[in-house]
């Protein structure tokens, strides 16, 4: 990423979209909208001081919603370019409120609330669509109860949990436990506030609350203490709830018994009939890393086939089974239901024993499918290229990276679902086709 950012022959137009393409192979004109960041890229050093002072916390989608970022932000810390951008949906200034602390803080004077989108025209010989893919939303599969059971998460969420710079600093805390811990933290704040009020009332009236409450209940004291007593009751409820929660929290451990469910949305005629090609490997990888992190971890990977198909992949799968406490189960999980302690329970057929089994896990990870990227239809119209029956850009076996229009090529998951080595090799392939299109002799033919 940094190499691309620094390469003298590469002009990077991040946060930009192609709006119109005219011309033909060798001499295309592309209109590109550079969306306003409200931060001057020439001045911004990416120091992040603005984000530190920004008062508005926004759900961080880079961490799959498990942490927050600010309304002025960069997508992730090492992103290229490091130029920050303002999220106008959440920024106070763009919502008519008083703020602008980022502009005051920025020593480079890079914040520009008046910035406008800019449309640039590029003269290019060839175009490569490397538009990637969209991850399937498992909410569409009601039987897996994603979003309903907190301990059912997607592989991408799990990646963030495993990451040292992720929301849990790399520890496998269970989402349900995180919710409880957050609730405890919130209640503790409330309790503090409430206790201060009670103390003040006690000082004012010169008597301990409990004593007054006993008298109040038996009707000995008058109604003048009604408010106080109501507050005292609230306070008692709060502390009771808090102590129950704290007791529960003491039993919390990190997730050690993991289930990975393959083909979530893929190889499924309701959604994507095709295979995503890479999820078997990332589930194995995630299970191995989880085991490296905590040797007590056990993982079960549920799949119809384990498609460890690539150089060294099957060996990796076998090694995971031998050394990383992974068991591979040939089964399509029918349903996930809620169990005790927030543990999801998988209902599946153990094909080896021909029995329907209910099995409890600490955490369930859904290997969500790779689908055509959002906006692929719009892009196909802009580029005037065809889409195949699966929703990816159409190519032929003879010319595997050529789209249906001369001079426009495709690589990576815009072509079909594929893993990293295949994407990299295909990217080189698309580059070669682009070079052929723009080399001198071919250009002469065009003009």
Pick one of 175, 277, 342, 407: the residue that binds another protein (CB under 8 A): 277
Determine if 134 is a binding residue for another protein (CB under 8 A).
no
Pick one of 13, 61, 77, 139: the residue that binds another protein (CB under 8 A): 77
DSSP-derived letter for residue 263 is: E
Pick one of 218, 251, 295, 354: the residue that binds another protein (CB under 8 A): 354
Determine if 80 is a binding residue for another protein (CB under 8 A).
yes
Pick one of 58, 178, 245, 308: the residue that binds another protein (CB under 8 A): 308
Residue 391 tokens read as 């929703």
Determine if 401 is a binding residue for another protein (CB under 8 A).
yes
**363 forms bridges with which residues in the sheet?**
258
Angle CA 18–114–105, to nearest 5:
115
d(CA 288, CA 294): 10
Residue nearer to another protein on the CB measure, 221 or 418: 418
Residue nearer to another protein on the CB measure, 98 or 322: 322
Minimum distance, C-beta of residue 350 to another protein, in the bound complex (Å): 10
For 136, counting Cβ atoms within 10 Å of its Cβ (0-12 exposed, 13-18 middle, 19+ buried), the class is buried
Determine if 309 is a binding residue for another protein (CB under 8 A).
yes
Determine if 425 is a binding residue for another protein (CB under 8 A).
yes
- Contacts of residue 33, Cβ cutoff 8 Å, sequence gap at least 6: 16, 17, 18, 19, 117, 118, 119
Minimum distance, C-beta of residue 328 to another protein, in the bound complex (Å): 9
The string of DSSP letters for 317-380 reads HHHHHHHS-EEEEE----EEEE-GGG-EEEEEEETTTTEEEEEE-SEEEEEEPEEEPTTHHHHH
Size of the residue set binding another protein (CB under 8 A): 66
Determine if 169 is a binding residue for another protein (CB under 8 A).
yes
d(CA 421, CA 281): 13
Long-range contacts of 87-91 (CB under 8 A, 24+ apart): 87/58, 88/38, 90/56, 90/58, 91/38, 91/56
Pick one of 37, 66, 329, 433: the residue that binds another protein (CB under 8 A): 433
Pick one of 209, 307, 344, 369: the residue that binds another protein (CB under 8 A): 307
**Residues that bind another protein in the complex, under the rule CB under 8 A:** 2-3, 5-6, 45-48, 77-78, 80-82, 164-165, 169, 267, 273-275, 277, 305-315, 318, 330, 351-354, 388, 390, 392, 397-398, 400-401, 416-418, 420-422, 424-429, 431-433, 435-436, 439-442
């Amino acid at each position: 990423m940094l190499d691309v950012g620094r390469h003298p022959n590469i002009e990077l137009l991040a946060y930009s979209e192609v709006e119109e393409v005219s011309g033909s192979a060798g001499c295309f004109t592309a209109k590109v909208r550079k969306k306003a960041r409200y931060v001057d890229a020439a001045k911004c050093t990416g120091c992040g001081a603005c984000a530190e002072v920004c008062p508005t916390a926004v759900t961080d989608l880079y961490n799959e919603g498990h942490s927050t970022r600010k309304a002025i932000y960069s997508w992730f810390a090492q992103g290229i370019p490091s130029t920050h951008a303002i999220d106008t949906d959440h920024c106070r200034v763009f919502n008519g409120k008083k703020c602008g602390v980022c502009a005051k803080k920025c020593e480079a004077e890079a914040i520009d609330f008046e910035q406008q989108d800019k449309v640039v025209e590029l003269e290019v010989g060839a175009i490569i669509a490397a538009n990637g893919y969209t991850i399937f939303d498992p909410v569409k599969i009601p039987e897996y109860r994603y979003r309903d059971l907190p301990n059912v998460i997607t592989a991408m969420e799990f990646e963030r949990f495993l990451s040292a710079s992720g929301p849990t600093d790399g520890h496998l805390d269970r989402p349900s436990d995180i919710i409880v811990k957050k609730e405890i933290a919130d209640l503790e704040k409330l309790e503090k506030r409430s206790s201060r009020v009670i103390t003040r009332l006690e000082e004012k009236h010169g008597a301990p609350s409990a004593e007054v409450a006993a008298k109040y209940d038996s009707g000995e004291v008058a109604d003048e203490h009604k408010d106080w007593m109501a507050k005292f009751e609230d306070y008692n409820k709060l502390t009771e709830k808090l102590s129950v929660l704290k007791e529960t929290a003491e039993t919390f451990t990190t997730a050690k018994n993991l289930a990975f469910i393959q083909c979530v949305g893929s190889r499924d005629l309701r959604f994507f009939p095709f295979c995503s090609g890479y999820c078997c490997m990332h589930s194995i990888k995630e299970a191995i890393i989880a085991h490296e992190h905590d040797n007590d971890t056990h993982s079960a990977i549920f799949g119809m086939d384990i498609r460890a198909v690539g150089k060294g992949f099957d060996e990796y799968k076998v090694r995971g089974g031998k050394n990383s406490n992974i068991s591979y189960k040939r089964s399509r999980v029918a349903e996930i239901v809620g169990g005790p302690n927030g543990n999801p329970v998988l209902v599946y057929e153990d094909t080896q024993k021909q029995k329907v089994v209910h099995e409890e896990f600490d955490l369930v990870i859904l290997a969500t499918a790779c689908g055509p990227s959002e906006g692929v239809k719009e892009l196909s119209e802009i580029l005037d290229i065809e889409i195949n029956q699966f929703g990816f850009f159409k190519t032929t076996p003879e010319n595997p990276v050529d789209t249906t229009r001369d001079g426009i090529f495709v690589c990576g998951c815009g072509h079909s679902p594929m893993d990293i080595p295949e994407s990299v090799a295909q990217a080189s392939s698309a580059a070669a086709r682009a070079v052929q299109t723009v080399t001198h002799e071919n250009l002469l033919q065009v003009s």
